[in-house]
Every structure is written in structure tokens, then in C-alpha cells.
Structure 1
């Protein structure tokens, strides 16, 4: 990575420029020291901003203190604390910083760094409940922390932390004991944000009173396995007159739940359960499940997904109040409701909602046979959210397995709606090159005609897109997985079968012989059956062992594919940076050559000594010498009017006219000043005459008496 020492935004929009001419500019100080928190060795950067920041010993003056830690063992840096600078300067809110970490850092596949396990796939370490307050937050690798600092223009403020060598840890000044004691009590304002705290963490940790140990995916898969309408969503429930009272009561309860969710603390599963307990005491759960709340047939889950409320989504599904695969009157799933607005992107919880609760909607169609890709394509022109949602969905599918990726390509990518239109048709119609590029990269078929026999390949925009490149990691992920999929699909000229799942094998029971009743023949027959059962069990066990090995190898290959894609992305970025660096070096060399040439030209010229008494003619640059010399000598210039040599030396008419007008204006101003001086002289003469008459002093002696007269007049006041 290039050295970031001299990198930074020096424009008027930079944070450094914003700090100029403010109190922060003169009372800003940093200190680097070594510290140990909960047994973890760290290098600590302390940034002080406030009235006493320029005096480290000052304790009585108000000041803001920001602490940023860098681990010695691997140089990971606390990105949560890094963004705290922007919060202190009121350039970001705590919620915006949290969303950035969730959307751009924590959930990105580009931060995969190993192939050991999908549970520890990311290089992003999140310590949200560490016993030491200063260790809480998202820890990111060194290069990612530098890019974040440069992105938000806080590198100059934090470069001491980046430039210090971790091997110098022992030689750094030790952190004061008072600061160490305070450090374990401090809670980060991002991770401890007073904004809405989603209580789904209680489900994960098992600390909530209403929590269970059931995985969200197990609950959702239970609904998916019962979908008899697949690949469509389940139709909405029809309400008859006998159910109106129940529906109205349920709507009132849902209204209270949604109001509670607007509060800072949000709602938990237990909160929702308590609200519905009176209703569920009188009615069965299946009578309350998936009650439509509006004329469109949308359930509470549709509204929760639209609001991107993770607490409501998880509570409704876990309690069985709504089904994640129930559609509205148009057959649109909750995931479609979610991607039609920007709430999930802004809240930073779309990946969690998708991975835990709404992932089955990826494979479902609405009543018009439109897929999630169709709906995302229809969002083109309404903002950039469709890029974020599509990238997140593709990352999820790629993350799952080769089988899921292959299934997505076969069932969703080229799916046609009731008019024969694919997602690529919509992208071409809207002329969105990014979406066209990503669909073609996935392998979308441009030859599929719709019912009007329109094919995407007939449009010129496809040729324009071929040469385009987008510097985004998702394209490298798709390309690498496509290559691996092609290599895996064909083996010895035939298609390789999908990987089989490990099957349950029942241990054979041993037969108990009754010597009194069993004949020799039956005993032999039973022995053969027992032998066959045991042989079959051993064979099935061996097959399961091989299946497990194949799954492990496939998982390792899958993770290696993602890492390979990330390496490609980083390599291309590095190549682009090197090309930019070469361009800058060439420009710098050209400037150096030009400077050297100018110096050589100056050496041959005589140095002009500056004489302050030397007369300077301001009109010299504008003088037309051939004309000026004749005018000065009162000679005629009529014969020069048609001299082509003289005419070529002249400036354009508009410039000459402007100069003439400027000289006229200057002469007019000089004449006015001269007249003022003349008038002032006459006025001065009159005043002198008055003073001379009053004091009986001659006109020539009045100037000498003025100082004395002035003192006398002031003394009489």
C-alpha cells in the first residue's frame, strides 16, 4: 500500500480547513502512548479538543477527549472510535456512523481474509460486549482503517497512530494510571447509542426473558417447507364478516406495537408477546396469523419490512403472527416491500434481515411471475438503493454455496414474467448500464424474446456496456464464481452432480433367536439379513464420511473463491493506483524539466538591479512606438494609416478602444482631483485671511501660529 503520509484532501471542504478560524484550530493536541486493557496490548492515540487541550496538565478547563486504539498483536484499529471524531465535530450522527460500519464494513464480503470457516470469515472483529469499555467496537485491519480515515478526511488528525511502529511499543510513554482506570468505565457512544437498540441480541445470547435457542433460519425453514404454492408466495387471507371484530382488535394491537417501536428502546419479542396475550387467550394462533392490515392485503410483516425494523420482523415471525412467505394481493413478498424503500439501507440492517428472516423471498414470484430482480430493476431511476440491495442479495447467494448460486442463475436470473419480460429487458429499457453489466456478468441470456418478440441483444446499449468496467468488488465475486462454476460443472465431458447432503443412518438392531422355535433355515436366513443390514449400515456410514469430506472441501473451495475474488479486486485497485502514480511521476518529471529549462534561460540573462529612484513608466507596455515617436515630435501620422506593418502590430479594435476609454476615464479623474486641489487652495487662502485679520498677523506668518491657536482653543473647552 502506498504511504499515506502526504495523502489528504486540502480543499476548502476538508475537515482540516473547516477547523481553521475556529477555537478547535488553536486548542487541538494529540498524544500517543502504550496501554493494556483486559490483557490486550494497545497503542493509544488520545485527541484532546477544548479549552485546555494545549496544556496536558490542565484539568479544570473544559475539553473533549477522544481515544483511538491500535492493537499491537495485529495492528487492528478500532474503527468505531475512529468515527467518533466525526461525531464530536458534528459532521456525523452516531446513527450515521453505526450505519456506515454496518453497510460498508461489517457486512462486506470484500473483507474476507481467510478460508478456514464461514463463522470467522471476516477480518472485521466486533467486540460489542467486552468488559473493557475502550475495547468495544468494530476493529478493522490497518489498511482498511487508513482508507476510512482518508475517506472522512481525518487522517491528518490521526496519522500519529498510523505511523508509529508497533515494535516501538515498549519505548512509548506509558498511559497514566488515572486514564487507565477511566478507560474501563467508558462506553463508546456508537455501540451504546441511545437510538433504538434492537433486542434481537437477546435471542442470540439467550439473556432475554422470552428468548429461545431456536435459530431464526430453523423457524423460517419451517414456513418454507410448507409452501404448497412454490415458487409463488402464499396468497393473502380472505376476511369474512364474522372475522371483522377479530381483525379490528388485531389492528389495534399492531398499532400499539408499531408505536412502541418508534420509541428509543424499540420492542422485543417479549413485548410483542405480552401485547398479544389477551387476544391469543381467546383465539387460536392460526386465526390471528397473517391478518391483512390494509386493502392491499399486506400483513404486519410487510409493514415491518418496509420500516426495516429488525425487532418487529423477528418478533412477528418467531411468535408465528406472520409468515415470511405470505404475499399481498399482488403476490409481493415482504422482501419486495423492503427493497422498494431506503429504510433498510439507511438503518444498516438489511443484511441481517435478509440472512435471518426474509431469504426465502429471493426464490419466490409474485402474481405477475416477477422475481426480486424484476422489482429491483423497476427501482432504477428512483435512487441508488437498488445497487445496494442487489449487491447484498448477490453476496448472500454467493456466500451460501455453489448450489445456491447455480440455482439462482437457473431459476431467477432469466425468469420471465407474464409478458415474457426478463430483468435484463427492464434494465435495457431503463438504459441502466450498471444493472445491465451485472446481469450479463451473471450470465443473463440476451437472446430471450418477450411476447412482442423483443430481444435485448437487438439494442445497441449492450455493445456500449461490453467495454465498461466498474471498480466494485461484487463484479469480481461474480466473475470468479462463474469461472469456478464452469470448471466444476463439467468433469470429463459430463455434468458433475450436485453435492449430496449427509443422510441419517439408522443403526441396525440385532435379531434375538428363540432356539426352541427357530429352525436352522430361518436362523441362517436371519443371519444373512443381519449381515446385509450391518453391511448396508457400514456402507452408508462410509458414504456419509465421504459426503462430509466433500462438503468440507467444497466449503473450503467456496471460501477460497471469495478470497480469490477479493484479491483480484485489490490487485486491480493496486494496479490503478500504480498507473496513477506513474502519471503523477511523469507530470512531476515534466515540471522538473521545465523548471530546469527556465533556470538555464535565466542564467544567460543579466540580472537587473532594482533602483528605487529609477523612474518607472506605467504607460510603456501600451505605447505604439512608431506612432508615439511621431506624436511626441509633432510629426504627421497620416502616412501610417495604410501601413500594413504598423497595422499588424496593433491590438484588436475592441482592446484599443477599451484602452482609450480607460485613459479618458483616468484623465477625467485626474482633472477632478486637480480641481479639488485648486478649490482647496482657494479655501485655505480665505481661512488664512480671516485668521490674519483677527490676530493682526501677516498672511505669511499664520502657519506658524496655528499650533498655538489650536492649543489655546482646546484649553478653553
Structure 2
């Protein structure tokens, strides 16, 4: 297994100085770890001649310990093993974990290398590794910590994260109980068997769908920019019924077994129908690419709805269904896919979009509604799903190197498109539905807020759009300010870290787009001229004619060679410019990633500075309280000294005549002799005042002690809230932080 080169070798440099977004200043999403009755032990391990720090996790509900590996060479962590703990605890299924990794890791542009000119992503997909212990998705240390915190796994995995890889030799070597190198857990055996079956069938099945085929399908669209209408079913009822029966058999499990289908199997299913069509001189598409329900949806619509990406590719590859054929409303298979959450749950939306359904991005339905209009409609009842699909579409167009499919084409052809009924843009609909997140992104994509629809309404007329425009203008004045960023994100409602990254990605993409706007595309390379410099026919034999022919041939040869050289230079320059355009796509994402990292680092530094300020304020308050307590003690001592001169409150105050009667249990009667023996009223009042003053002094001292304890408790709660550390561990954290600050000074 090769390590990611850009990560560096952390065995030669401590990782502690290179982390960002880690557990040091992250707040857990829950109140504590989801793990109960679990223990973890750190070992050193050696698999495939590579060194690993291994955390063996013992769960009460598991038969065998589970392992989570951290690679010594670059500190990459096996994210699949981390999340499999939640599967063992029945919090999630294996399918949900795979979908999460596909959606948030594998297809996430944040995992693109942060080094210019390096195309290797910041992850290693070793899902097919021959050793079970290494199998999974490997991600950088800081992102693994972030995932652990988000899923409340950090407390259990803390030993793995806090260990220094330099100490590899200090840990006990892990020895397997069984010598088998690839022993699998029972929960994994069924999955591996399924994957093996799938791979065997798939290896002889579908090939990678040719993008040239999709290009030719798009070129054949006579209804552009709309989709092709549904096939009219008038004749060939028997063949159509036979085809529908085959489709019914394919979809009988609602796409659950779709990944088992191969191109050969599907072709065999429809071979007899295609032969009958050929014999009757009928186009197979008029029988196969027909509506399967009253809404006019084809088999491709159903496959896209079920997120059966393998089946989608087969149907297009075999030309059974056209990706540019709409239903009765002219809605594409891509629209059918975004109306449900199956593609999110399976984690394959970006795969379907990039390989099969991208032509639908540039087409409109019968009402001239674009994909953006449909996403706004979906957002009105499935907000999170629409946000996800919109984000993935933007990531795809921003990272696309083809100028006909990139952000420039998207902004030019789709963003400001108006639907036919009211002439409203997607921004009109987003403003009407008060979708602030969509409004902001549409504005960032240069949607015109002053566009007037058929009713004379502008997007800026909506109060929600005005609010977002105000937030956007305030943010643009100081985009690097953490306060401005925080205000913007709070104003957009329900925005997480992924949404914040998408904002930066879109802003960077549009920024690059605006800078390239003055430059037209250089186009494709031209073919070199094949003009021949054959000498002219020697019809004449005179000397003058021969000399003229020689001169003419020389001129022709010069022109041909000059033309060839010129075309070579032009083609070389075009190749260089096209290569720069390709690099620009990567540079856009890299710039957005670096800006995002810089912003997060700035936020962490600001958070640390705030904690330092709070700590200084608390220490100052403690010193003030101590000084006040000392002053109070001195004042009390002075008062006590003054009182002592007249009355010693520490001595018992006894009226002997009354005290003797109380000791002897004799009745006390106010006789003249007793009244005469009493001290003067002035002395009694002075004694009482002295006791009251002493009591008040004691009460004030008690209140000071209580306030000191309450302030200390509040400080601990503030530190616990800001750092995500448990309340019981605050003292240790402060001791370590104070030691670190003193060490830096």
C-alpha cells in the first residue's frame, strides 16, 4: 500500500503542530460518547510490511475485538473501521456507512490534494485490499478526528488519536489469536460474499459508458433545448407488452438487485424483441423506450429514481432507453432522481450524474423549467435533500474541464433561465419559498435579482431576497472576518461546515470564471495541412519554362513548409492553453480548499485567543476576590481590636446571679436583688452589638467563599462548553494549557 505523498512522513515531524479542525477545539454533537461498556487498548501492528498503530476495541455486544488502524508513515486513519463500530452497535447499517463515505469523503472535493500540480486525492480507497485488516477508506488524521467527534466516537478512540507515532516501538506488539491473515468478522462475511459475487458478475458485464455515445445522443436531439417527447404507443402492442413484462421482471425488487445485472444479461433479455423489431423493420427504441406508466416515465426514469446506477448505464449503453427522453411533462431521468432520496441513501448520485445523466442538466421540460426550478420545488418539501443535490451538481460543474459542461456554461444557460408560465427564474421561486440558502448560492452564481417576470415581479421584491442581499453585501465588505462569516452563516439558517465550504467553492469558481470571461475558448486542435509540393507537370521543355516551374515549385514548397510550421506553432499554443484550462479546474478547487483551511485555522486561532482572554479575566477576577477577602479580613481584625478594648466577644458573657440559678435548676424571678445585680443597659446593648457585628462579619466571609466557588464553577462550565471537554477534565486541560503557554513564553 502506497502512502499519499503530499501528507509527508509524520514519523520525522510531530503531527501536533500541523493539525487543524481537531478535537482540541471542537464541540461534540452529543452530550457524550455513544459507546457504553467498551474498552480500548493500543498496540503496534505490522500488516503488509507496513507499520500501524492499532486500537483494539472490545464491545460488550461483540464477540471479537474490533480494530481501528492508524498508519505510522503518514498518520492516515481507516475511516471505515471507525464507523463500523457504529454498525456493530446497531446505530447504522453497513449500507448507510458506505453511503456516508461515498457522499462525504470519496466524492468530496475537500479531499483533493492541497498541493498544486498533485492530482492525488487526500484519501486512499483500499476497499479491495487482500488483507481484511487494511481494507477500507483511509483519510488524513485531522479529518478522521472530525468524523469521530461528529459521531461521538472520540472518547472511545481517544487513545488512538493522542498517541504519538514516534512511540510505535514502545507499544506491545499485537498478536492475532488466529494465524489466518484475512480473518473476517461474521458481520463482514456476508457482505464480502455479496461483493465477490457482484465483482465476478460485473467483471464480464458493463463497460464504462462511452462519453462519445452521450455526445452523439445529444447531437441527435431534434427537440433541443427540451427533451424528446415520450414515444407514442399506437402499434406493436404485443412487442410493447413483452418489453414491459421484461422491465417488470427487472424492477420486481425495486432495484435492490440492480448491481447484479450485466450488459450481457440485459441484452439477452431483450434479444428476441430486438430480432422481431428488425424482422418487422421497426426501430427497437419505439418498442423499448416507451412509457411504463400513465405519467410517461420510461425504464430509465425508474432506474434513476431507484438510484440503480449500474442499470442506468446498461440501459443507455444498449440504447434501450435514451437519457434525453422525457415523460409526459418533459421531465428527465435526472429530475426523477432528485425528487427522491434514494441516490443520497446509496451514495451514488455524483456517479450517476458524471457518467450517465449529465446531459439532463442542460435540457428543459415542457414548461421550460430547468433543473434549478425542480430543485426549488423539491426544497419546499425536502429541504436537506435538495441542498445535497444542488451541492453535488455545483461541485461537478465547477470541477468539469469541458467548457461546454463547466460553470461558465451552467451560469450562461441555466442559472437565469425563465420558465414558460410566468417567466420566473429559479431565484423568483426561491424568494417566494423563502429558501435563503438557495437564494444566496443563486446570487453567487450571478443570477440577476432585477429580472422581471411576466407579472412584473423581480426577485429583489421579495423580503427574503432583500435580507440575503443585505447579508451578502455585508459579508463581501470583509470576507475574511470571522464575525462577518458567522453573521452570514447564522442568517442563512441551518448551515453546516459542508455548506460553508460549498460557499467558498462557488465563490472561487465564479471568481475564476469572471477573470476568464474576456478570453474565448481556443477550440480544438486543427489538423495539419497535407498539401503536396509535387512538381508541376513537365509539359513544356523550354529552358524558360523549366526555370519558371522551378521558381513556382520553390514558392509552393516555401508556402507549404511555412503553413505547416505555422499550424504546428498554433496547435502547440492551443495545446498549452487547453492544458492550462485543465489545470485551472484543479486550481479552482485547490484554491477553495486552501481558503477553507485558512478560514478554519483563523477561527481556531480566534477561539484560542478568546479562551486565553477568558482565562486572563477569570484569573484577574480571582485575584480581585482574594484581595477583597484580605481587605475584609483586615477590616474585621481592626473592628475586633476596637471591640476587644471594651468587650471581649470571645469570652463567655455570664450574669452570675442568673447563671447560678440556671445551673441549679432554680426558678428565676425578677426580684429587686436580681434586678440590681444586672449590668447596665448600656453594657448589654454594647455586648449585643458586638455579637451582631461579629455575626455579620462571619456571614460576609461565608458569602465571599460561596461567590468564589460559584465563579469557579461558572468558569469551568464556560471552558467545558468552548472546548468540548467534560466538566471533570477541565482542571487537567487548564493545567496543560497553562503549561503550554508558559513554555511558549
TM-based fold match above 0.5: yes
1:186 to 164, 173, 184: 184
The offset of 1:329, in angstroms, is: 1.6
Aligned match of 1:275:
269
Aligned partners of 2:22 and 2:145 also within 8 Å = no
SS at match of 2:230: coil
Give the one of 436, 453, 458 matched to 1:455. Answer: 458
Structure 1 residue 63: deviation in Å? 3.1
Deviation of 1:178 (Å): 5.0
Instruction: Establish whether residue 481 from structure 1 lines up as the match of residue 509 from structure 2.
Output: yes
1:225 — aligned with what? Answer: 219
Contact 2:34 2:153 in 1 (8 A): yes
What residue in structure 1 maps to residue 140 of structure 2? 141
In the aligned structure 2, how far is the partner of 1:523 from the partner of 1:197? 73
CA deviation vs aligned residue, 1:662-704 (integer Å, no higher than 9, x gap): xxxxxxxxxxxxxxxxxxxxxxxxxxxxxxxxxxxxxxxxxxx
Distance (Å, rounded) in 1 between the aligned partners of 2:576 and 2:417: 34
3-state DSSP of counterpart to 1:70: strand
CA distance, structure 2, for counterparts of residue 459 and residue 488 of structure 1: 32
CA separation of 1:145 and 1:511: change in aligned 2, threshold 3 A: same
Q: 1:182 to 1:315 in 2, by over 3 A?
A: same
After the TM superposition, which residues 104-183 of structure 1 pair with which residues of structure 2 at under 5 Å, given as runs?
104-114=104-114, 120-176=119-175, 178=177, 181-183=179-181
Which piece of structure 1 moves more, 3-12 or 372-381?
Answer: 3-12
Q: 1:199 to 1:182 in 2, by over 3 A?
A: closer
**Does the residue aligned with 2:46 lie in a helix, a strand or coil?**
strand
Q: CA deviation at 1:599?
A: 5.2
- 1:249 equivalent in structure 2: 242
- What is the distance in 2 between the residues matched to 1:5 and 1:452? 54
Distance 1:200 1:219, change over 3 A: farther
Mapped to 2, the partners of 1:198 and 1:599 lie a distance apart of 71
Q: Which piece of structure 1 moves more, 533-542 or 145-154?
A: 533-542
- Separation in 1 of the partners of 2:363 and 2:66? 48
Q: CA deviation at 1:534?
A: 4.0
Question: Is 1:8–1:156's contact at 8 Å kept on the other side of the alignment?
Answer: no
Kindly indicate whether the alpha-carbon contact (under 8 Å) linking 2:77 and 2:138 is maintained by their aligned counterparts in 1: yes
TM-score normalised by structure 1 residue count: 0.74
| Contact 2:307–2:348, Cα closer than 8 Å, also in 1 | yes
Aligned to 1:326: 325
In structure 2, the partner of 1:304 is 303
> Paired residue for 1:612?
none
Partner SS state of residue 323, structure 1: coil
User: What is the alpha-carbon distance in structure 2 between the residues aligned to residue 68 and residue 402 of structure 1?
Assistant: 40
Separation (CA, whole Å) in 1 of partners of 2:521 and 2:226: 25
Please give the root-mean-square deviation of Cα atoms over the aligned residues, in Å.
Answer: 3.2
SS of aligned partner of 1:126: strand
The SS at the match of 1:92 is coil
Q: Distance in 1 between the 2:335 and 2:365 partners? A: 10
Question: Matches of 2:156 and 2:89 in 1, distance apart?
Answer: 12
Compute the displacement of 1:145 (Å): 0.4
Distance 2:188 2:467 in 1: 44
CA distance in 1, matches of 2:416, 2:198: 36
Structure 1: gaps (5+ residues): 20-24, 52-61, 490-494, 608-717
Corresponding residue number in structure 2 for 1:645: none
- What does 1:414-453 correspond to in 2, within 5 Å? 414-418=416-420, 419-453=422-456
What's the CA shift string for 1:48-75, capped at 9, x where partnerless? 2249xxxxxxxxxx83221111222211
Computing the radius of gyration from Cα coordinates, the structure with the larger value is 1
Q: Which residue of 1 aligns with 2:396?
A: 396
Secondary structure at 1:355's aligned position in 2? helix
- Which residue pairs with 2:40 in the alignment? 30
Higher relative contact order (CA 8 A, sep 6+): 2
Choose the corresponding residue for 2:573, options 546, 549, 556.
546
1:501 aligns with 2:519: no
What is the match of residue 406 of structure 1?
Answer: 408
Counterpart CA distance in 1 for 2:524 and 2:197 is 34
What's the CA shift for 1:531? Answer: 4.5
Change (3 A) 1:526 1:322: farther
Aligned residue in 1 for 2:592? 565
In structure 2, what is the equivalent of residue 292 of structure 1? 291
When residues 287 and 3 of structure 1 are mapped into structure 2, their CA distance, relative to the original with a 3 A threshold, is closer
Residue 4 of structure 1, aligned match among 8, 13, 23: 23
Distance 1:402 1:562, change over 3 A: farther
Please state how far the C-alpha of 1:402 moved relative to its aligned partner.
Answer: 8.0
Other-structure match for 1:315: 314
> Structure 1 residue 42 and structure 2 residue 36: aligned?
no
Whether contact under 8 Å (2:58, 2:65) holds in the other structure is yes
| DSSP 3-state at the match of 1:32 | strand
TM-score (norm 2): 0.71
- Structure 2 distance, partners of 1:456, 1:503, is 45
> What secondary structure sits across from 2:423 in the alignment?
coil
Larger deviation, residues 190-199 vs 327-336: 190-199
Contact 2:259 2:310 in 1 (8 A): no
Aligned length: 576
